[in-house]
Amino acid sequence: MEHIRSIEELVRWKSEGHEKKLGFVPTMGALHDGHLSLVRLSQSKCDRTLVSIYVNPTQFNNPEDLAKYPNTLESDLQALEMMGCDAVFLPDAQLLYPQGLKSRDFDFDGLDRNMEGAGRPGHFEGMATVVTRFFELIGPDLAIFGEKDFQQLSIIRNVVAKEHWPVEIVPAAISREADGLAMSSRNMRLLPQEREDAAQIYAVLSSAVSKLNPAETTPKEFERECAKALNKVPSIHVEYVSCCDALTLEQVDTFITTRSTRVFAAVQCGKVRLIDNLPLF
């Protein structure tokens, strides 16, 4: 596996296989099986796969979250090597942000109004800035984004369409631990009791989804019931539970079963902020 740290190395690696279909998987490292499923998806669709590992400061609105973001580079590289990943891109801030750590301005057509956009100001601008910079440098044919970060996936699709980036955006299903907890690099910061409690996020949401009768329950009632059940779990404090249209990400007032709709949740579990989402219909 090629380790790429400079633009020159990237240009050389690209030129060696310019006729081959290139898949790109952006990550912030601390890789788990969820990330690796994205790599496998890219490998199944492309001739070559490049994974980037870069903890992007401009998308962190909480300095403590950035400072505590886990770094497991050695084992990340081993895992990628074992999978037969072709290249890993390990840029530094100077390479990605030659003019300094600043986000571009974007208009996401309201996709950033709710949920993570409301709770984490500047997060999506920072994310979209670094992802479009990666697209510019790497020029992938295809890029994979996990549905774990559904709002991020929607925003990237929006930016790619509006700015005409010649890259196909491919979604990947959420990978979960055996007890249902969505895999996340942040899970390793949970204390043992918090880790056990965190499984309730999926348990509560999936049970509520399976019992939902959309003719008899309003989205507000559904959200309130889920939040109430989650707030009963000792380590958990709910930030939001929102039922949103899967295309516009607007909160829905009524359930319309012919419209693709998802339930989204963000909770504080001990000191760690966790998100998850599930399809309703």
Between helix 123-138 and helix 7-15 the angle, nearest 10°, is: 50
Which residue of this chain has its Cβ atom nearest to ligand AMP in the complex? 146
What b/e string do you get for 172-191 counting C-beta neighbours within 10 Å, with b at 16 or more? bebbbbeebbbbbbbbebbe
Does 151 help bind ligand AMP (rule: CB under 6 A)?
no
183, 205, 208, 229: residue in contact with ligand AMP (rule CB under 6 A): 183
Active-site residue among 35, 123, 164, 237?
A: 35
24, 106, 135, 145: residue in contact with ligand AMP (rule CB under 6 A): 145
Let me know if 3 is a catalytic residue. no
Residue number with CB closer to ligand AMP (149 or 194): 149
Amino acid code (one letter) for 27 = T
Considering only residues 100 to 119 of the shown chain, the ones binding ligand AMP according to CB under 6 A are: none
Does 278 help bind ligand AMP (rule: CB under 6 A)?
no
Q: Scanning the structure block, which residue is given the tokens 């539970």? A: 241
Strands in the chain per DSSP E: 2-4, 22-27, 48-53, 87-89, 142-146, 168-172, 236-245, 261-269, 272-279
Does 272 help bind ligand AMP (rule: CB under 6 A)?
no
Contact present, 155 and 127 (Cβ < 8 Å): yes
- How are beta strands 48-53 and 22-27 bridged, if at all? parallel
Cα(56)–Cα(226) distance, rounded to whole angstroms? 32
Does 184 help bind ligand AMP (rule: CB under 6 A)?
yes
Smallest separation, CB 177 to ligand AMP (Å):
9
Does 23 help bind ligand AMP (rule: CB under 6 A)?
no
Q: Contact residues for ligand AMP (CB under 6 A)?
A: 27-28, 34-35, 38, 145-146, 148-149, 172, 174-175, 182-185
